[in-house]
Chains A and B, each alone.
Chain A
Amino acid sequence: MSANAGSSPSAANSATANSAAANTAAANTAAANTSAASIAAASYASASAGAASASHGNSGGSAGSVGAGPGSGSMGKGNQSARLQESGLARIARGEKVAAIVHESVWDDEPVLEVENFSLWYGEKQALHDISLPVPKGKVTSMIGPSGCGKSTLLRCVNRMNDLIGTVRIAGSMKLNGDPIYDRSVDVIELRKRMGMVFQKPNPFPMSIFENVVYPLRIDGERNRQTLAEVCEKSLRGAALWDEVKDRLNSSALELSGGQQQRLCIARAIASEPEVLLLDEPCSALDPIATGKVEDLISDLRGDYSILIVTHNMQQASRISDYTAFMYLGRLVEYGPTAEIFTRPRLSETNDYITGRFG
C-alpha cells in the first residue's frame, strides 16, 4: 500500500499496477515499463481517453501514440510522451535509482536529525528507497508528495512508531543529535521521550485537559503538583491554547473543538521539551480557521523547536516551512529551502508537482 502512487482518481488503476510492477523488482521488463509510462501519462496528461496496451512496450510509449480501444490492455489508461518518458518521476516509477537533488544550503544549519541511506520494507514491499536528508535544528521542515509517497512512513520511522508493525524491516540509519536511532542498544521508550508527535486526526486522551498535557510527565512518574501545573501552563501557552482553556483544565479534553484538540495534542507533544517535533498532516482533519490557528502556532514554535511536518497542502508548506522535501514513490526527489523549491526548483518534476500539474 505504501507504494500506491497517484493521487488523481484517473491514475488509480495504473498506479496499482505500477506498484505491483515495482514490487516484483522486474524494473526493466516491458510490462513494467509500460505501466510506468502509463502512470506518468495519467498523471501529466490533461485528457486521457485511450489506454496504453501492454503491447506498446517501451518504444511504443516513446512514440506518444494513443492507445487502442477499451479493454485492450489491463494496465490502465494514459498518454505517453517522450518528455515524460525521460522524466525522473517516470524513472522512479519504473523502479530505477534516481539520485535525489539536495540543495547545498540545507547544510547551512546544524542538523538535529540526519537520515542516512534509509530504506524500509513492509514485508516484501519496499516503501522507502535509500533516503538521505538532514533536518535543520530550530527550523520547520516540510515533506510533500502525493499520497503513498512514504512521507508519513518516513516521519513515523523517526520515532520508531513503525516498530509496532511486526513485518517492518529497515536498512540505513538515522541520528538524533548525533545519537543513533536504530541501534540495538537504544531504548525505544527513552528515544520517543525525546520527540513529540502529532497525528493526522486529533487524538486527545479521554481525560481532563490537564491530564492530557502532563501525560508524558505522568508516565515518567512525576507527582509534584506544582511541576505538573507549571508544565501544563507552559505547554498550553506554547500551544496558544492557554487562554481558551485555563478556566476548565479539569473538564474533559473531548469537549474541545477539533482545532483546539489538535493544539492540545501539540501542547502534549511539547510538554516533555522534545528535541524534534513530528507533525503528521496535523491540519488534514481541520477546517480552514482551525488550520490557520495551527499554522500560526507552528510559526510561533519555529526557533524553539525543530519541526518536521508532513503535509498534503503545498500552500501550507510554502507558508510555514523553511525547508521542503519533495518525495515520490518512496524516494526523495528534491530537498531544499522552501523558497527555492517553490520558486525555482531544480527539477522540472518538482515544478510540475507544486504547480499542480501532477498529483
Chain B
Amino acid sequence: MSHSTAAANTPRERRRSRARPGVSLLASGEPMVWLTGGALTVAVSMIVGLMLLVLYNGSGTFWPVPITRVELPGGGRLMGEITRVERYRLTKPLVENLSGPVADAAAAKLAGRDSVDTERRLFRVGNFELTQTHFQWASDYEVAPGSEIRPEWAILAERVEWGRCVGELGQFVVRYRRVPSPDEEDLTSLVQWLETRLPAVPDAERPPLEAALARLRELVETRRRDNIREFLAQATSEASWRAVLEDGSEVALNEIQPQAAVVELRQVWTEPAAAWAKYLEAHPQVRERFQQRKHLERHEIGRVNNAIEEARLAVRGAEISTRSASLDKLEQLRQTRVQLDAQEAEWAALLARWEVLKREAKRPDERLRPLVDAAESLLRAARAEWEQARQEPLAAAAAMEAELAKLPEPLRDAGNRLLEVQQRGDEESSSIQRTIQSMNAENDRFELRLMAADGAAVAVPLSNIVRAYPANRLETAAAVGIYLERWWEYLTDEPREANSEGGVFPAIFGTVAMTLIMSLAVVPFGVLAALYLREYARGGPIVSVVRISINNLAGVPSIVFGVFGLGFFCYLVGAFLDGGAANAGLQTWPSYAWYGGLFVLVALALAAFVIGLRIASGERARSLMWSRVALGLWLVATALLVALLFGNPHFGGFFADRLPNPTLGKGGILWASLTLALLTLPVVIVSTEESLSAVPNSMREGSYACGAGKWQTIRRIVLPQAMPGIMTGMILAMARGAGEVAPLMLVGAVKLAPELPIDSSGPFVHPERSFMHLGFHIYDLGFQSQNSEAAKPMVFTTTLLLIALVATLNVAAVWLRGRLRKRFRLGQF
C-alpha cells in the first residue's frame, strides 16, 4: 500500500492510475445510464399504470355480475350485484352508535375486544322507486349466517325509467283487451246522448221514447255479451288464463259468471323457465315497437313542429319587416277554427250514430220505432242549440279574418300560410299520435313481474325494459354476449338516467365533430401564418415579438380562451349575426356617416393598393417610406372596415325573427371549435415553423435556380417536404383540442343534447347547436351525477373511450402522415 502511494506521488503515476478504466464511476458513465434510464422507467410506469387502471376499471363496467341475496338481522333482505368490497376496522364507538339487531350482531362480532377487522360489501340493490336508494352497504356481521344465496332466477332488468330492477322472476303476463264492436260503441254513445236530450222532450211524448230507449239499452247489452263470449273463446288451454272484470277484480276463466263484464283477459306464466322463454320471445318485438314509437315522436312530430316553427318564423320576419303584429290574432283564429272543426266533427258523428240506430230499427224490432220517428225533432232541437253555440266563434273568426285581410300583403300571406301549415300539422300530428297510442297499447300488453328482495311485487312493462337477464344462470358465452351488447349500446345509443346509463353516442359525435371542425379551422390558418413568418417575413424585432407572443399564447390557461370565446364569439359575433349591431350592444352609425365611412374606406384601400403597386414596380429609393405609408393605410382601412361592419345600421341580423331567443348568440359547436382552434393555434404555428425551417435551403435555391417563383417553390418544394411536420402539428393540436374541457363548458358543451349538430332536418348542418363532449361528460358523471356510485364505473369507461378516441384520431393522422411521407419518398407528387 505504502509502495503504491509512493509511486502514485509522481505525476505520471498519478495520471495513469486516474486514467485506469472503471476506477471513476462518473467517468465510466454508469450512474448517468442509471439516472436517465430510471427517469424513463418512472415516467413510463406512471403512464402505463394510469392506462392499466383506466383499462381495468373501464372495461369491467359492463360485465354482468351474479346477483347475491343476503338476510339481515332485522329480517330485511338485500339482493343485488356486489360492486365493491372494503375492509374496515369495527371499533367500540362505532358499535355504540348502532341500535337494534344490528348492534347485537356487531357486539357479537366485537366479542369484547376494542376493535376488530371486518369487511363490508356494497350491494347494487336497484329498485329505486321502492328502496329510494341504488346502493346499500352490508357488513359481514350483519349478514345472517348461512343466508347468503344466489337465487337461480334472480333477474336484473335495466329499465328506461327508474334505473335497474333486481328481483326474482315471478310471472310473465300478456293482456288481451276486449275490443267492443263498432256498433256497440256507436249505440252506447247514442244512449248517452239520448239520456241527456230526453229530459227536454215534452212530458206527453216521453214515455214511448223512454221505453224505446230501454229497448236500445237492452240491445247494447246483448251486443256486448256476444262480443264477450267471442272474446273469451280465444283463450286456449296454454298456460293459465285470468279474466279481469270491470271493477278490476281478477277471476279464473272457469269461474266467470255469464253476466260478468269482462274487459280484459290475461295469460299468465308462473313457471320461471316458461315465463322467461315467453319473455325472450316477446321482448324484441316490444322493443322494436318502442324504438319505432321513439322515432315517430322525435322525427315525425319533430318534422311537423319544424314546419310550423318555420312558418311562424316567416310570420315573425314579415312582422319585423312590416312593423306590425299579428301572431296573437293568428293564434286566436287558429284556436277558434279548431273549436269549430271539433263541433263539426261531433255533429257528423251524431248523425252517423243515428244511421246505425235506423239500421237496427229496420229489422223487425218495432220497439225502437218511436225513437226513429222522434229523430227529426230531436235532431232539430239539437241542431238549433249547436248553431247557437257556433254563432259566437263564427263571428269571432270572421272578424279576425277580416282583420287579417287588412294586414300588409307579405304578412297576410305568411299568416295564411302559417294557418294552413298549422292545420295540416295538427292533422298529421294527431294521426301520428293515434299510431303512437296504438303502439303503446300494444306494448302495454306485456309485463314482467318480479319479486323484490323484500317480497314486494314489481310489475315492469316490457316496453320499459332495455335489457333483462337471469344473472345467476348466465353461461360465459351469454355473459360475453351481454357484455358486448352493453358496449354496443354504450357506443351507439343516447344516455338515460341522468347520463349514468345508456350510451354516449351524442358525446362521441360531438367530440369528433368538434375536433374535426377545429382542425379544419386551425390548420390552414396556422400553416399560412407560419409560412409568412418563416418564408416571407424578414427577420427583425417585430417578427421576434410575434414569435414570442405566439409561444406565450400556448401558455395561457385554457379557461381564459373559454371566456374569450364566450365574450367574443357568442356575445359579440354571434349576437351581431343574430340581430345586428343593436342586439350585440354596439353603437350603430347614422346612415349618412356609414356611407361616408364606406367611401373613405374605398378611397383608403385604393390609395394603399396603388402605392403597393408602385412599390412593386420600382421606386426603390423611396420604397421604405412608401411601404410604411401603405402599411399604415392598410391598417387604418382594416380598422375602418371592422368598424363599418359592426356599426352597420342597415344590417338587422340573420336570425332576428327568433329573437329574443339567441341562435348564434350562445354557445354552440361552431364557436366551441373556433375557440379551441384559437387555443391550439400556437401548436400548429410552432410545429409548422419547425418543419419549414427543417427544409434545407439548398432545395429552395435549386428551385429558384430553375426559374420558380417564391410561391411555386413553397408549393412544390417546401410544403410537400414540410407536410409531415405540419401533420405532426395537426396531430398535437387535435390531441390537445379533443382533451380540452374547461373552455367548452362556457362555449357550448352541455350535459344532454340528443340533437346532433348534423341531422336530416332543415339545413342538415346546425353549427349553432349545443353539443355533448366526452371530456365534459366525464366531468358531469364524476361530479354532477345524482347517482355517483353508479356513475363511477362510467367515468372510467368514458375516460377509456375518450383516450381510445383521441388515440384513434392520432393513429389516423399518423397513418395519413406515413402515407404522405411514403408518397413523397416515391415521388408521386
On A, residues with C-beta under 8 Å from B are 159, 161, 164, 166, 184, 189-190, 192-193, 195-197, 199, 201, 203, 205-212, 215-216, 218-220, 250-254, 265, 268-269, 272, 278
Contact = CB atoms under 8 A, between A and B. Distances in A.
Q: Which of A206, A212, A250 has the most CB of B within 10 A?
A: A206
A193 B701 contact: no
Contact of B701 (A203, A209, A215, A216): A203
A197 B827 contact: no
A161 B829 contact: no
Contacts, number: 89
Contact of A189 (B702, B709, B824): B709
Interface string B555-583: 00000000000000000000000000000
A184 B618 contact: yes
B828 A250 contact: yes
B717 A205 contact: yes
B708 A196 contact: no
A161 B702 CA distance: 10
A240 B336 CA distance: 95
B826 interface: yes
Interface in B683-717: 696, 698-699, 701-709, 712, 716-717
B618 A268 contact: no
A313 to B, nearest CB: 21
A207 B707 contact: no
Interface of B: 538, 618, 620, 696, 698-699, 701-709, 712, 716-717, 720-721, 824-829
Contact of A203 (B538, B696, B720, B828): B696
17 contacts: A159-B705, A161-B701, A189-B707, A190-B707, A192-B705, A195-B705, A199-B698, A208-B826, A216-B706, A216-B707, A219-B706, A219-B708, A219-B716, A251-B827, A254-B825, A265-B702, A269-B706
A199 B702 CA distance: 8
Nearest to B702: A203
A189 B824 CA distance: 26
A166 B824 CA distance: 32
Contact of A251 (B698, B721, B826): B826
Contact of A199 (B538, B620, B701, B827): B701
Nearest to A204: B702
Given A203-B698, A205-B699, A252 B827 contact: yes
B828 A197 contact: no
Given A193-B707, A206-B825, A254-B825, A218 B716 contact: yes
Nearest to A197: B705
Contacts of B828: 208, 250
Given A219-B708, A219-B712, A203 B829 contact: no
Contacts of A195: 705
A152 to B, nearest CB: 12
Contacts of B824: 206-207
B721 A272 contact: no
Q: Which of B538, B704, B829 has the most CB of A within 10 A?
A: B704
A196 B708 CA distance: 12
A212 B721 CA distance: 14
Contact of B827 (A203, A250, A268, A278): A250
A207 B827 contact: yes
Q: Which of B706, B717, B721 has the most CB of A within 10 A?
A: B706
Contacts of B709: 189, 219
A205 B826 contact: no
Nearest to A195: B705
A201 B705 contact: no
A180 B705 CA distance: 18
A138 B137 CA distance: 99
Contacts of A164: 701, 704
Contacts of B825: 206, 252, 254
A250 B823 CA distance: 11
A197 B706 CA distance: 7
Contact of B706 (A190, A208, A254, A272): A272
Nearest to A253: B827
B501 to A, nearest CB: 54
A46 B646 CA distance: 80
B286 to A, nearest CB: 62
A51 to B, nearest CB: 32
B819 to A, nearest CB: 15
Contacts of A210: 827
Contact of A208 (B538, B701, B827): B827
Contacts of A253: 827
Contacts of A209: 827
Given A208-B826, A208-B827, A211-B829, A203 B699 contact: yes
Contacts of A193: 706-707
Contacts of A166: 538
A205 B698 CA distance: 10
Contacts of A278: 705
B826 A192 contact: no
Given A166-B538, A208-B826, A210-B827, 4 more contacts: A199-B705, A215-B716, A219-B707, A269-B706
B705 A161 contact: yes
A278 B717 CA distance: 21
Contacts of A190: 707
Nearest to B712: A219
Contacts of B706: 192-193, 196, 215-216, 219, 268-269, 272
Nearest to B705: A197
B829 A215 contact: no
Question: What 9 pairs across the A-B complex have the smallest Cβ distances?
Answer: A208-B827, A193-B707, A197-B705, A207-B827, A203-B698, A192-B707, A203-B702, A216-B706, A219-B708
B717 to A, nearest CB: 6
Nearest to A205: B717
B537 to A, nearest CB: 11
Contact of A250 (B538, B704, B712, B826): B826
A201 B698 contact: yes
A71 to B, nearest CB: 27
